[in-house]
Amino acid sequence: MLHGFLPFVGEVPTFLIYIVSEKKGSQFSVSLIHYPYLFAKGSARIHTPEQALEGYIQATNTHDFRQVQPFLGKQAIYYFSDATCRTLMEICQYFENAWDLIKDEHYHISDVQWLHKSAQSAVCLYTYHYEGFLNEEFIEGSGRATNVFEKIEGNWVLVHEHLSSSVTP
């Protein structure tokens, strides 16, 4: 269970994320994950929601949450088919677990439809596709996604993502 984060004082903004998991009985194990810049602001601006979506997908394929985080709002909420993540720490843990589970995963999107775009917010729907190796067996799949973007301090960021399985007609 992801428990929290501790600011780490040093030359650059850094955070230690600590995960507390129960082993047996009353014994617990604590894991520390060191993420430099995890919550630091990036210097590059994301000028459009389309740039935010494209950059987010590219960052997801790096399998490095430090690359994904600049595209997320601090209050981002994710709805997955098996979990709701309400903090950046929970989102980070979910991504890391997925990347550990599906090896060499490649993620891409198609059929993007922008339902709403204004000066401060945007909403899109798309079909997501993934492929990779689960237990050394090749797998692939797809589903539906809804993303909500908001312009915060001049940057477009993802504030909500809802993923669900595909529906066959």
**Tally of domains within the chain:** 2
C-alpha to C-alpha distance for 138 and 101, rounded to whole angstroms: 12
C-alpha to C-alpha distance for 93 and 84, rounded to whole angstroms: 12
Residues 68 and 6 in one domain: no
Chain position carrying tokens 């993620």: 107
Residues 49 and 128 in one domain: yes
Instruction: Report pLDDT digits (tens) over 100-150.
Output: 999 999 999 999 999 999 999 999 999 999 999 999 999 999 999 999 999
Residues 79 and 122 in one domain: yes
Chain position carrying tokens 């030359």: 11
Instruction: Report pLDDT digits (tens) over 65-75.
Output: 999 999 999 99
**Which token pair is 16?**
């230690």
Contacts by residues 76-85 (CB-CB < 8 Å, ≥ 24 positions apart): 76/157, 76/158, 76/159, 76/160, 76/161, 77/159, 77/160, 78/160, 78/161, 78/162, 78/163, 79/160, 79/161, 79/162, 79/163, 80/163, 81/143, 81/163, 81/164, 81/165
Residues 113 and 76 in one domain: yes
C-alpha to C-alpha distance for 145 and 158, rounded to whole angstroms: 13
**DSSP class of 41:** P
Residues 89 and 47 in one domain: yes
Q: Which amino acid is at 78?
A: Y
Residue 18 belongs to what domain range? 1-40
State CA 165 to chain mean position distance.
17
Residues 127 and 66 in one domain: yes
By C-alpha distance, which of 155, 164, 8 is closest to 69?
155
Q: Which amino acid is at 113?
A: Q
Residues 65 and 148 in one domain: yes
pLDDT at residue 115, as a whole number = 98
Instruction: Report pLDDT digits (tens) over 37-83.
Output: 333 444 468 899 999 999 999 999 999 999 999 999 999 999 999 99
CATH number at residue 153: 3.10.450.50
pLDDT at residue 25, as a whole number = 54
